[in-house]
Amino acid sequence: MTSAGRFAPSPSGELHVGNLRTAILAWLFARSTGRSFLLRMEDLDRARAGAEAVQLRDLAAMGVTWDGDVVRQTDRESLYAQAIGRLEEAGLTYECFCTRREIQEAPSAPHSPQGAYPGTCRDLDPAELEYKRSMRPAAIRLRAGVADYTVRDVLRGEYTGAVDDFVLRRSDGVTAYNLAVVVDDAEQGIDQVVRGDDLLPSTPRQAYLASLLSIPVPEYAHVPLVVNHDGARLAKRDGAVTLADLAAEGITSGAVRDCLLDSLGLPPGPLERALAVFDPSRLPREPWVWSAP
Ligand code: GLU
């Protein structure tokens, strides 16, 4: 299988300039290392009708090109079920009946990190299990054998983060992001994952899960986010932050692309020009404060 990089947006609405900047970076990382570049719609959750087409149009307007067809997670449930089945057979899963509220209110296990699942359903006896099954549908959790895991990131170096008994399949039957992302990256031959550094804390969970599934861990590069003037992650409420909003103010997609490239210390114009001089070691390591060109 050829090696590939990817961009994997959730089609929940329009991409904003922060998402577009990350997509450009993912494209530059992949193309500068001779990888193909794939696009995957993470539509298991939060998908909105029409959003995918707008996202693809906006990526194309930036000059981001992709290979092959766009893959959608909703077409891939059988792959996720197979992976969960393998973990189940290995005794690495359990059913969990806790509501979000119950998890919040449960005393946390000693030495476990903030927000970690406290393990309430980890060792239910058969009678309890039968009773709980009669009350509610179960989520499937991983029976994690470690409390933390270390990954290597091209930009961030070694990063160690918590691994808890995270959810693999939600009680409504929807596959959880952490499982789907690991299965998809492996199945699509993706060996380079470039994404926003808000996802760095999830990465040890994903790499640990890959190790349990005997899947090679990809190369990671978590890139700094675009933030608003208050330093908070950019969001739709921060004004004109999508190509459509900016076009309404007379700012072309070419001007937006050039502004994003400039924020990365890269030359304006078609992405191929930036590609010719792209050097990950010279990328800014700080969040970038958005201001319209
Ligand atoms: N779908 C996720 C998002 O849009 C990104 C997942 C990833 O790149 O691994 O935030």
pLDDT digits (tens, 9 = 90+) for 78-89: 999 999 999 999
Q: Which residues are catalytic?
A: 236
Q: Is the dihedral of CA 123, 125, 127, 130 positive or negative?
A: positive
Question: How many angstroms separate the CA atoms of 151 and 163, rounded?
Answer: 12
CA distances from 28 to 22, 127, 206, 227, 282 (A): 10, 55, 23, 21, 13
Cβ 199 under 6 angstroms from ligand 1:
yes
pLDDT exceeds cutoff 60 at 267:
yes
Question: Binning pLDDT at 50, 70 and 90, where does residue 106 land?
Answer: confident
Quick: pLDDT tens for 118-133.
Answer: 999 999 999 999 999 9
pLDDT at 176: 97
> Could you give the strand order of the β-sheet that contains 192-196, starting from the edge strand earlier in sequence?
157-162, 148-153, 219-223, 192-196
Mean pLDDT of 128-154: 97
CB of 195 closer than 6 angstroms to any ligand 1 atom: yes
**9-25: pLDDT as tens digits:** 999 999 999 999 999 99
How far away, in angstroms, is 177 Cα from ligand 1 center? 8
Q: Which pLDDT does position 168 carry in this prediction?
A: 98
- Judge whether 37 is annotated as a binding position: no
CA distances from 92 to 145, 153, 161, 170, 183 (A): 9, 27, 20, 16, 16
Task: Give pLDDT, residue 236.
Answer: 86
Question: What is the whole-number distance in angstroms between the Cα of residue 202 and the centre of ligand 1?
Answer: 11
Distance (angstroms) between ligand 1 centre and the Cα of 7 equals 8
Residue 22 to residue 197: CA distance in whole angstroms: 10
Q: Are 164 and 116 in contact (CB under 8 A)?
A: yes
Question: Is the pLDDT at 97 greater than 70, yes or no?
Answer: yes
Q: Which residue has the tokens 């961009």?
A: 7
Integer Cα distance of 90 and 97 in angstroms: 21
Reported as a single tens digit per residue, the pLDDT across 56-70 is: 999 999 999 999 999
DSSP of 16-83: -HHHHHHHHHHHHHHHHTT-EEEEEE--SSS--TTHHHHHHHHHHHHT----SPPEEGGG-HHHHHHH
Atom of ligand 1 nearest to the CA of 206: 9
Contact 91, 143 (CB under 8 A): yes
The predicted-structure confidence for 220-241, as pLDDT tens digits, reads as follows 999 999 999 999 999 988 999 9
What is the pLDDT of the chain when averaged over all its residues? 95
Q: 105-108 — which CB contacts under 8 Å span 24+ positions?
A: none
Q: Using the atom order of ligand 1, give the atom closest to the CA of residue 19.
A: 4
The reply, when asked if residue 141 is annotated as ligand binding, is no
pLDDT band at 109 (very low <50, low <70, confident <90, very high): low
**Is the overall model pTM greater than 0.85, yes or no?**
yes
CA distances from 86 to 75, 171, 212, 213 (A): 20, 19, 10, 8
Q: Ligand 1 within 6 A of 181 CB? A: yes
pLDDT value at position 114? 72
Give residue 52's Cα distance to chain centre. Answer: 16
Instruction: Please provide the DSSP assignment of 129-145 as one string.
Output: HHHHHHHSPPEEEE--S
| Structural domains of the chain, with CATH | 4-75+224-289 (3.40.50.620), 78-169 (3.90.800.10)
pLDDT reading at 99 higher than 80 = yes
Residue 110's pLDDT band, with cuts at 50, 70 and 90, is low
pLDDT band at residue 46 under the 50/70/90 scheme: confident
Distance (angstroms) between ligand 1 centre and the Cα of 40 equals 9
Quick one: which atom of ligand 1 is closest to the CA of 202? 9
Look at residue 2 in the predicted model and tell me its pLDDT: 76
Tokens 């919040």, residue? 104
Instruction: Give pLDDT tens digits for 148-205.
Output: 999 999 999 999 999 999 999 999 999 999 999 999 999 999 999 999 999 999 999 9
Buried b (16+ CB within 10 A) or exposed e, 47-69: beeebbebbbebbebbbbebeee
